[in-house]
Amino acid sequence: MGNGDIKEHKMIAVVETGGKQYQISPGSIIRIEKLKAKKGEEVVLDKVLMIKEDDSEALLGHPLIAEARVTAEVLRQDRAKKIIVYKFKRRKNYHRKYGHRQAFTELKIKEIQSGKTKKKAK
């Protein structure tokens, strides 16, 4: 038995949180809009739109998949790099400069449950 005989099972899902959609798999790290959770806490994302496991057909929700959920661990709460917003109107002596840092939560995906199957991160 060589290394080529070992097949890695891959499960991916598309979840919605904070008005955005993210493609995830067990063990992946994502940055999402800020959640009210502390570092080390476990959060559950239950708005699962799609799940695909290995070479099987994708399971699509209309709009969500019932009983599907994703478990993740909060790695950190932070703010992104500062962006500069500059407004300017010519010949009117009008200009405004703002800075903005968007708050985010960084998650590590632990497990994807489709209601039928579970896939944990290694």
| Residue with tokens 């009008």, as numbered in its chain | 94
Judge whether 83 lies within some domain: yes
What pLDDT sits at residue 55?
80
- Round to whole Å and give the CA distance between 51 and 41: 24
Domain, as residue range, for 63: 3-115
What are residue 51's DSSP bridge partners? Answer: 13, 59
Angle at 86 between CA 83 and CA 88, to 5 degrees: 170
Higher local confidence (pLDDT), 82 or 3:
82
What pLDDT sits at residue 1?
43
Judge whether 120 lies within some domain: no
How many independent structural domains does the chain possess? 1
- Round to whole Å and give the CA distance between 21 and 10: 19
pLDDT digits (tens, 9 = 90+) for 6-61: 556 688 999 999 999 999 999 999 999 999 999 999 999 999 999 998 888 888 98
- Round to whole Å and give the CA distance between 104 and 49: 22
Whether the full predicted model's pTM is greater than 0.85, yes or no, is: no
